Amino acid sequence: MGFAASVALLVVGAVLAFAVKWEAPGFDLQAIGWVLMCAGVISGVVTALLARRRADDQAVENDLVNMVDIRDETL
């Protein structure tokens, strides 16, 4: 989802939970705000974990490429 979307969910959720005083029949806007904030936190954590995993995979791939390059030069 990305960090920008996570922050957007947090901001929209905070506005609904804390700033909106309007009441919609059949909807609890404060509860919807809390749900959006939780979704923003969860998506931010998942995005960070996936970014870390991609960075680790890239580091391993770079190490393998460098190792192959060194072997080619010594032959």
Q: Per-residue pLDDT tens for 3-12?
A: 999 999 999 9
pLDDT greater at residue 11 or residue 75: 11
Say how far apart CA 27 and CA 14 lie, in whole Å.
16
Percent of the chain with pLDDT strictly greater than 90:
55
pLDDT at 71 over 90: no
Residue 65 confidence (pLDDT) = 58
Residue 55 confidence (pLDDT) = 62
pLDDT-derived band at 64 (thresholds 50, 70, 90) equals: low
With residues binned 3-state (H G I as helix, E B as strand, rest as coil), the percentages for the chain, rounded to 5, are: 85, 0, 15
Range of the domain at 25: 3-74
Domain tally, the chain: 1
